[in-house]
Structure 1
Amino acid sequence: MIKTLLYKLFSVSMALLVLFSTVSFTVEKHFCGDVLMDAAVFNSVEKCASESQEAPSKMDCCEDVLDVIKGQDELTVKTFQDLDFDQQLFLTAMSYSYLNLFEGLPELVIPHKNYSPPNLIFNRQILDQVFII
């Protein structure tokens, strides 16, 4: 139970790590003077009310800033043969010992599970006075 839960948790966290390391996005900011008026990630920023009414040449104090956060473009995949011999040996030994660590007990087969013994009329050991010591 806990092994499957840990396996699923680890798988989801690795998938999210790969997803967030490869995602790129842009943060758009609108400044009027030194004051940040609006910031947006997925949509465009709202302009100042005075900027939309007047001509853009008169508004020298307002500016838009784009911050581009680039994700990783290429993922490198290493194979087992790319590792050194010591690393291969360590990885093989660790995986072998880890897999055998959680090996469960085999199901015990009880051949006489549904067998009911015959009714005893007399006890043979006491009758013959033979005891296992």
Structure 2
Amino acid sequence: MALIVLFSTFSYTVKQHYCCDVLVDFSFFGEAESCNIEGSNLMYSDGTGFSKKDCCEDELLAVDGQDKLNITFESLSFEQLQFLASYAYSFLNLFVKSTDNNTSFNTYPPPLLVKDILILDQTFLI
């Protein structure tokens, strides 16, 4: 349960550097390194003339975690509080060692053998 809470509140950012639509570097911590190509400004034609285009591109992928985990006891109903209290009480009493060794059959002898049943039924071990 703790891992689920940890991963649902975890935020991270991935920085990626592309050069000519090819992934060059990515980084979870810090900045992604650029490719430092000298001819990174390429000329392309858009039909009206030539213009410069940078072939390098940086992308940023950010995943925000959940930060609203403040559950208060005021928002719980009476039945939920009653269940929570009974569950906590029964769970904590699972680990209490019982010291009662009250076995009442220790003072009574077993009944007397009136007839030998094995001989009456003629069942013998061979």
**TM-score tier after normalising by the smaller chain length:** 0.5 to 0.7
Name stretches of at least 5 consecutive residues in structure 2 with no aligned partner.
43-51, 102-126
- AA aligned to 2:95 is F
Match of 1:88 among 81, 84, 87: 81
Q: TM-score normalised to the size of structure 1?
A: 0.53
State the partner residue of 1:125: none
Q: What is the CA–CA distance in structure 1 between the aligned matches of 2:68 and 2:80, rounded to whole Å?
A: 24
Deviation at 1:62, TM superposition (A): 1.7
Confirm or deny: 8 A CA contact 2:20 2:55 kept in the other structure: yes
Query: Does residue 46 of the first structure (1) align with residue 40 of the second (2)?
Result: no
- How many aligned positions are there? 92
Q: State the secondary structure of the residue aligned to 1:49.
A: coil
Once the two structures are superposed, residues 73-127 of structure 1 have per-residue CA deviations (whole angstroms, 9 ceiling, x without a partner) of 4432322x4211221121122222222222113499xxxxxxxxxxxxxxxxxxx
State the partner residue of 1:31: 18
Q: TM-score normalised to the size of structure 2?
A: 0.55
Percent sequence identity is: 43
Structure-to-structure mapping, 1:1-133, within 5 angstroms: 14=2, 18-50=5-37, 53-54=38-39, 58-79=52-73, 81-106=74-99
Tell me which protein shows more strand as a share of its residues: 2
- AA aligned to 2:58 is D
Deviation at 1:65, TM superposition (A): 0.3
Confirm or deny: 8 A CA contact 2:17 2:26 kept in the other structure: yes
Rate the CA distance shift 1:106–1:34 in 2: closer, same or farther, 3 A: same
Tell me which protein shows more helix as a share of its residues: 1
Name stretches of at least 5 consecutive residues in structure 1 with no aligned partner.
1-12, 109-133
Deviation at 1:18, TM superposition (A): 4.9
- AA aligned to 2:82 is L
Q: State the secondary structure of the residue aligned to 2:14.
A: strand
